[in-house]
Structure 1
Amino acid sequence: MEKVLGFGGLFFRAAAPEKLARWYLDHLGIDLVPQTAEGQPWVASGGPTVFAPFAADTTYFTVEKAVMVNFRVARLEPMLAQLEEAGIACTRLDDMPGIGKFAHLHDPEGNPIELWEPEAPSA
């Protein structure tokens, strides 16, 4: 059976797409979508990707939104400090042993974001 290799993109509606794309660049380091064939899109670093449908009544993220994006980060605490210094409210969640560290925030349009520092593999 053929399988997909990973996410090729994430597309969602925004009231101010250019402004929101700039916010993601400025605060999370996600490159803007290229406008020419020579341009390069954001290239995610290799690592695990979770594809997880949640119950329709989940309270894990904002009920007004159907999707929450989870981004892997190398070091959660410095990322949170950087975001909070920029005035972006973040909520640190409890660590999940064997899984990693997590935090939640919202972009300027209220879209929920989860940051995940995967637990280092045991040696």
Structure 2
Amino acid sequence: MSTPTTKKTGLFFVAFALVALVFAGVFSYFADSDPDGLDSATLKGCEVVETDAGEELTGDCIAKNAKDHDLADGPLADYAVGGDDRFTGVAGVLGVVGTLVVAGGLFWVLRRRPAKQADSRDE
């Protein structure tokens, strides 16, 4: 049996999920896969040189030791689905759905359970 408080809580979580999905779908298109401040700071002291094999770093900087992440070729890498920038919003929505599923599962597993009623023999 649901109480008014339970209904309000459920409505809140549904509304929260919908707002998060809309924000993810819209604002994901503003995400930039180009280098950010951290990337530019690690490139200080180096120069990016174009070669036949692609870009190479010359000089002495932290970025020379960088390696691609194991999931760099993954389906949601660089804020896109399969590397296609047209699906940036889809990648954002899938990220929010994944986060909500994991968080919801953790909340469900870790939730407080009502204390069991005392056995009638204990009275």
Give the shorter-chain TM-score range: under 0.3
Give 1 or 2: higher strand fraction. Answer: 1
Question: How does the TM-score come out when normalised to structure 2?
Answer: 0.21
Question: How does the TM-score come out when normalised to structure 1?
Answer: 0.21
